[in-house]
């Protein structure tokens, strides 16, 4: 039976294995190592199209990945809003603490301290510590306004008041609560602690705090005073070498009252060595 003129000419069926044999070159183990030089343009086009589809698929995956954060926010709105709200609350509390509460604390403490300082200056140390019924003393100010500069300063005043009253352990307690970057007060506080330890008979601690007072923030007012106290305490305890070292350092402050007499102390301690 004659073939129809309208019937398209079919390409002969080529098995997949045969196509591969025609398109690729193989090594001795049967692995593909490249295209044959006679690979058709159509076949190359097919490979290019496959690569293009792969790249398009990758772009789609990237967009999908980028949308995950948005999906997370949508699914967890309550959690996200809670976190943001918490951060806003912390910022508001910090602003209130820095700009409203702390300045108010400082102002109130300063007002309370004025009368206590007046009692301190006239050596009325009990009234300075405990107040007079109308005004607070340093003890209440230190407790009620802790964290303010005035409250911190009240610890220093309370410690020195106790020192003058002969209550040396209380003096040490309050003076150790005080902290300051001020060159004079920081040294004076450590020196007062040294005085309290010396009165309690703890010479080693007393000398340690005298040296700390002299050396932490060296200056012409505090350092010579406590170098001399440290040297005298060492001399009294029999440590002539240590005393000599303190008196030699005292000579670094020739303009001070104590530094001007350094040679006198050196001569005396050298005679005992």
Taking 80 as the threshold, does the pLDDT of residue 75 lie above it?
A: no
The pLDDT value given to residue 7: 47
User: What gap in Å lies between CA 186 and CA 182, rounded to an integer?
Assistant: 6
Band the pLDDT of 216: cuts 50, 70, 90: confident
pLDDT of residue 30: 57
Question: Degrees (nearest 5) of the Cα angle 73, 76, 82?
Answer: 100
Which segments of the chain belong to CATH 1.25.40.10?
Answer: 180-273
b/e per residue 26-59 (b: at least 16 CB within 10 A): eeeeeeeeeeeeeeeeeeeeeeeeeeeeeeeeee
Report the range of poorest mean pLDDT among 93-97, 120-124, 179-183.
93-97
- 150 falls in which pLDDT band (50, 70, 90)? confident
Q: Who's near 215: CB < 8 A, 6+ residues apart?
A: 223
Query: What pTM did the predictor assign?
Result: 0.62
Q: Which CATH class is domain 180-273?
A: mainly alpha
Nearest by Cα to 157 from 138, 144, 130: 138
The tens digit of pLDDT for each residue in 78-119 reads 554 555 555 555 555 444 344 444 454 455 667 778 889 999
Local structure of residue 13 (DSSP, 8 states):
P
């Amino acid at each position: 039976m004659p073939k129809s003129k309208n019937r398209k000419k079919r390409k002969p069926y080529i098995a997949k294995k045969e196509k591969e044999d025609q398109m690729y070159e193989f090594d001795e183990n049967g692995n593909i190592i490249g295209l044959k030089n006679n690979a058709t343009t159509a076949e190359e086009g097919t490979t290019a199209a496959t690569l293009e589809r792969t790249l398009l698929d990758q772009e789609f995956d990237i967009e999908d990945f980028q949308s995950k954060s948005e999906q997370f926010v949508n699914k967890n709105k309550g959690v996200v809003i809670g976190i943001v709200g918490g951060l806003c609350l912390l910022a508001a509390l910090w602003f209130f603490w820095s700009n409203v509460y702390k300045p108010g604390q400082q102002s109130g403490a300063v007002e309370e301290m004025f009368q206590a300082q007046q009692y301190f200056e006239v050596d009325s140390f009990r009234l300075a510590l405990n107040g007079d019924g109308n005004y607070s003393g340093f003890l209440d100010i230190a407790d009620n306004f802790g964290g303010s500069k005035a409250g911190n300063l009240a610890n220093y005043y309370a410690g020195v008041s106790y020192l003058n009253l002969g209550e040396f352990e209380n003096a040490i307690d309050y003076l150790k609560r005080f902290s300051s970057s001020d060159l004079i007060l920081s040294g004076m506080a450590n020196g007062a602690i040294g005085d309290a330890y010396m009165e309690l008979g703890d010479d080693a601690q007393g000398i340690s705090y005298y040296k700390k007072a002299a050396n932490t923030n060296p200056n012409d007012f505090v350092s010579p005073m406590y170098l001399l106290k440290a040297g005298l305490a060492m001399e009294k305890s029999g440590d002539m070498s240590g005393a000599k070292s303190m008196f030699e350092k005292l000579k670094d402050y020739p303009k001070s009252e104590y530094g001007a007499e350094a040679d006198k102390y050196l001569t005396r301690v050298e005679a005992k060595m």
